[in-house]
Amino acid sequence: MHSQFALPPITFRSATQEDCAHLVLFADMATRRLTSFLWGQIATPGQSAFEVGRNVIRNAKGHFTYFANWRVAEHQGQIVGALNGYVIPELSNSAPPAPDVVARLNELKNMAVGTWYISAAAIYPEHRGKGFGSTLLAKAESMARSAGNDRLTLMVGSFNPGAYRLYQKCGFAEWTRRPFLAFPGSDEGEWILMVKNLSQKS
């Protein structure tokens, strides 16, 4: 239950290189280990998947997970969560083939081309249940509107009913689903593409 006393609001700031260790965790939490699995596929012998991820987020300027594309959420001086999002571009014919594990995910993203897509929105476990998740989504909506976009999309797994309920509560509707291709240590179920029409008042 929420406390009868109002919590001080979380604040947002642009991420810095010093936040990359946090961003690695948030990216992996938001994707239910898919991100670290993919990082592990390109790790060298003895190299941690999270070291690969930190290097990507810290240095790969053209990648959507680059630190400059994140907003960090803070509460009482502590990092509690983060948000990453972007407008999904048209699929390039010159793009290299994606790993099989993300093929169905990419099918859904291709349906949502042109929408402002929440790639990652995560809150540390110890800070959940305080309304911070809803605030992250409100921030994403504000960023999408500022970018002149009238549709906000995100992906959630059928195995994450708590997140699914939160998104519904915040005005997202289910668009369509695709099977989730399992990998070692992963969940099993379906990817669900959800959308919120920002041209309509909530």
pLDDT value at position 123?
97
List Cα–Cα distances, 164 to 4, 118, 171, 201, in angstroms.
Answer: 26, 14, 11, 21
Does 4 reside within a domain?
A: no
Residue 94 lies in a domain: yes
* Structural domains in the chain (count): 1
pTM tops 0.85: yes
In a domain, 202, yes or no: no
DSSP letter for 181, please.
Answer: -
Q: Which domain CATH number covers 115?
A: 3.40.630.30
Strand ranges in the chain using DSSP code E only, listed in sequence order:
11-14, 70-75, 78-87, 116-123, 151-157, 173-179, 190-197
Whether residue 14 has pLDDT greater than 80: yes
pLDDT in tens, 133-175: 999 999 999 999 999 999 999 999 999 999 999 999 999 999 9
Reported as a pLDDT band with limits 50, 70 and 90, residue 4 is very low
pLDDT tens for 89-130 read 987 666 677 889 999 999 999 999 999 999 999 999 999 999
Residue 6 lies in a domain: no
pLDDT in tens, 39-56: 999 999 999 999 999 999
Decide if pLDDT at 71 tops 50.
yes
Residue 143 belongs to domain spanning: 11-197
